[in-house]
Amino acid sequence: MGSVLIAGGGPVGLTMANELARFGNAVRIVDTAAARTDKSKALVLWPRTLELLAHGGYVEPFLKAGNIAHGAQLSDGTKVVASVTMDGIDTPYPYALMIAQSETERVLEETLAGRGVTVERNTTMESFAEKSTGIEAVLRRADGSTETAQADWLLGCDGAHSVTRHALGFSFEGSTQDSDWYLADIHVTGLEPTDRLHIFWHRDGILAFFPITPGRWRVIADLGPATGSGHHPDPTLEEIQAMIAHRGTPGIRVKDPIWLAAFRINERKVKDYSRGRVFLAGDAAHIHSPAGGQGMNTGMQDAFNLSWKLNLVMAGLCKPSLLDTYSSERSAVGDMVLRNAGRMTEAAIARNPVIQTVRNAMVSFALSFPQIGHIMADTLSELNIAYPDSPLSVAGKPAPHGIKPGHRWPEPLPADTSRSRFIAVGTGAAILAAKFPTLVEAAPSSERADTRDLVLVRPDGYVGYAGAAGDTDGAEAYLKDLAV
């Protein structure tokens, strides 16, 4: 197996480390901070991320630590405009799992420690050089001492100000929105129901509440166009209460703030997520509006996408060209998330009364149709993320019925805590598993699985190959293109 150095011990780096460590790789993970965050920051784990954690065998600690939200309610301050429910989506986790980032990091770090890997804190990756056989990185500790570390691969999960990205010379293209926002992690009373996100589209701006734990909520509100280039002062408890009284429904009260801050929204992204033996993931590759809560989940799914590919290459089972698909697949997803978050933000902060009236009417009308609400829920949950244009997405002939290459496999995968394999489903699955024993595992036999189209499901739960029942020739050709 290979060795990996991960720069950055936030949720993305910790997910990457967990995935690679459970496959048996040598992992080092370093982080500049002395301890994991104590802030709530990213607040939600969406169903698709929970599915991937379940496949890795470590979703249960998150479920125990989190708080379930069943949907969102949109109001204009006086009446409910529309609501979105997640109860009917096709997943074992039909909800948003509200969980403070501090708790997400705790669970990930404790899981990683159980795999024998400890985050090396107070340690900064200062620079690196790519050699013919791997990476040499200079690590600097808080006491000023340095170490030259060797690894086969470097994964930059080191945030928006990524040292890895700067060293690669990659452009972080985008902009900073010219508006200020308030954020409060605070205790709230008088807001019902408590298992919903509450969004108020007031004429003077958005006010949103996100449940964290019983009685504790995240509150955000936009303040309109920025009045200067400097940092807006952080809000006081009184300012948050006044904002809620003005934009929310009567009777909402706040107390005992945990975190009060002002911020601006950055929307930036790199074009390429990798070069040579170096990869970027999470905020090091893409940052965007918090609308929709997609940031941390997108970064964690970067990690799920890269880790299985890197594992198969390091194990000598797949060609290095497999790694080229990481950047193309995840960059396309990053573009989509950036667009969606930007559009949601623009709709939310509209100030023109006519535009606000039209927006409210359109959303209310659209969400009165269950199908549209279902589409929105699938988008938020990230269940609709797909890789239809990836070179890893191949359709056999004749074209399969109802199963699309590149799309999420809709059925739960067996928990896989130590192996990274394709799952073969359908007529011919056992033949493929016998011919490619280190790369393919046949799904458990069943009447349905033994009679339907032949499918190869990637280790991250997306359909790689989809062909007709018994189309083993096409599936074998697909696997031979990948295998060493």
pLDDT tens, 188-197? 999 999 999 9
pLDDT cut 90: percent of the chain above it: 71
| Mean pLDDT of all residues in 85-114 | 95
The answer, yes or no, to whether residue 33 has pLDDT greater than 80, is: yes
The answer, yes or no, to whether residue 369 has pLDDT greater than 80, is: no
* Residues, the chain: 484
Q: What's the pLDDT tens digit per position in 279-303?
A: 999 999 999 888 778 899 999 999 9
Burial of 194 (0-12, 13-18, 19+ CB in 10 A): middle
pLDDT cut 70: percent of the chain above it: 95
Band of pLDDT at residue 451, cut at 50, 70 and 90: low
The answer, yes or no, to whether residue 447 has pLDDT greater than 60, is: no
Residue-range domain boundaries for the chain: 3-40+100-173+270-348, 178-264, 394-482
CATH 3.10.450.50 given to domain 3-40+100-173+270-348:
no
What is the CATH class of 178-264? alpha beta
The answer, yes or no, to whether residue 157 has pLDDT greater than 90, is: yes
Band of pLDDT at residue 1, cut at 50, 70 and 90: confident
The answer, yes or no, to whether residue 401 has pLDDT greater than 80, is: no
User: What contacts 167, CB < 8 A, 6 or more positions away?
Assistant: 127, 128
Burial of 31 (0-12, 13-18, 19+ CB in 10 A): buried
Q: What is the DSSP string of 22-81?
A: HTT-EEEEE-SSSS---S--S-EE-HHHHHHHHHHT--HHHHHH-EEE-EEEEE-SSSEE
Please give the pLDDT value at position 363.
Answer: 73
DSSP character at residue 321:
G
Band of pLDDT at residue 399, cut at 50, 70 and 90: low
Q: Computed from CA positions of residues 433, 438, 439, 445, in that sequence, does the dihedral angle turn out positive or negative?
A: positive
Give pTM, 2 decimals: 0.93
Residue 293 belongs to what H/E stretch? none
Cβ atoms of residues 104 and 13 within 8 Å: no
Three-point CA angle 410, 415, 419, nearest 5°: 110
Mean per-residue pLDDT over the chain, rounded: 91
What is the CATH class of 394-482? alpha beta
Q: Which two tokens stand for residue 167?
A: 């060293």
Fold matches, 3-40+100-173+270-348 and 178-264? no
Please give the pLDDT value at position 109.
Answer: 98
